[in-house]
Structure 1
C-alpha cells in the first residue's frame, strides 16, 4: 500500500512532494493517535470497577475520539491561520474533517463494546481482544510509516516492533493494575 520515498520525490517543484505526502502523513498520524487513544481508554474501562455498561462505554470512546479529532483539527487550523479572515471558517472546518483517521481508528474498539452491549460477549473479553488487536494495529501503523519514509522492510519491521511495544505497555499496565 505504501511505497518507499521515491513515491514522493520527483523533478517538479520542491513543495509538490510535501503536499502529496500530507494525506498519508495525516492518515498515519490519525491512525496511530486514535489507536493509542482507544487502547488507553479501553484499559481505563477495564479498571473503572463500576457496573459494566458497554453501550455507554462505546459512546464514551466514540465521543472522546470525536472531541480529540475536533480539538486537533482546530488547533492545526489556528496554527496555520492566515491574515485572510474570509476563509477562516472554511479552513477550520476542512482541517477538522481531515482528522477522520483518528475517529476511524477507534471504531474497532467501539464495535467490540457494542457487541458486548448486544450481549454477544462480555465487556472484559471484548476489552482484552481490542487491546491485543490495537497492539497488532500499532505494529502495522509503524511498519507503514517506516515504509512511507523509505525505510527497508527490516528497518520498517523494527519500527513496527517499537510501536507495538507501546501497545504492549498499555496492555501490561492494564494487567498489572488489576
Structure 2
C-alpha cells in the first residue's frame, strides 16, 4: 500500500501527527489475527488431565501459524487470479510472504512454551501467561491500528479495548471448558 502524504480522513476522524513508519493495514490485520490464533491454540493445547508436553505444543502453534499465514496469502493469490489481474509470480509470492506478521505474533507464545519445555516454569503457567500477554497485546495492536487510521486517543483506546475483548473471550472460554 503506497504511503500518501495527505491520507484521506473519514468523517469524524481527527487528523493526527504523521507516523515515521506507518504499518500497512495488512500487517496490522495479520498481527491481530496471529494473536487471536495463538491464544486459541494455546488454550486448546492446555488440556487438563494430559501429560504436559510443551515442546510439541510449541511446534504445533508455530506450524499452525505458518499454515494459516500461507493459506491466507494464497487466498490473496487466488483472488488476484480470479480478478484476471496479470500479476507476476514474484508479486504473488510477495502476497504470501506479506503474512509474516501473523507468524511473528505467535512467537512470544512459542517462546513461553519453549521456556516451559526447558523447565523454567510449568506448561500451565506458560499457557496462562501467554493468554494474558496476548490479550494485552491485542489491546496494543488494536489501539495502534486505530491510531494509524487517524483516530484520536480515546477512540483508539476504545478500539483496542474491543480487540482485547476477543482475548478475554478466549480466556473465559478456556476457563469454562476446563
> Larger deviation: 114-123 or 23-32?
23-32
Separation of aligned partners in 2, 1:68 and 1:170: 19
SS at 1:47 equivalent: coil
Shift of 1:91: 2.5
Tell whether the 8 Å contact from 1:47 to 1:174 is kept in structure 2 after alignment. no
1:150 Cα deviation from its structure 2 partner: 1.2
Tell me the SS of whatever aligns to 1:80.
Answer: helix
SS in 1 for 2:24: helix
Residues 76 and 95 in structure 2, CA contact (< 8 A), matched pair in contact too: yes
Counterparts of residues 143-158 of structure 1 (less than 5 Å): 143-158=143-158
In structure 1, what is the equivalent of residue 86 of structure 2?
Answer: 84
1:9 aligns with 2:3: no
TM-aligned CA distance change 1:145 to 1:92, over 3 Å? same
Q: TM-score, normalised by structure 2?
A: 0.84
Give the 3 Å change call, closer, same or farther, for CA 54–150 of structure 1 in structure 2: same
Q: How does 1:9-158 map to 2 (within 5 A)?
A: 9=7, 24-47=24-47, 49-81=49-81, 82=84, 84=86, 87=88, 89-158=89-158
**Alpha-carbon separation, structure 2, partners of 1:7 and 1:116:** 47
Unaligned runs of 5+ in 2: 9-20
Instruction: Give the secondary-structure state (helix, strand or coil) at the position aligned to 1:9.
Output: coil
Which stretch has the larger CA shift, 107-116 or 73-82? 73-82
After superposing on structure 2, the runs of 4+ consecutive aligned residues of structure 1 that deviate more than 6 Å are none
Q: For the residues of structure 2 that align with 1:118 and 1:110, how far apart are their CA atoms? A: 12
Change in 2 beyond 3 A, CA 1:7/1:167: farther
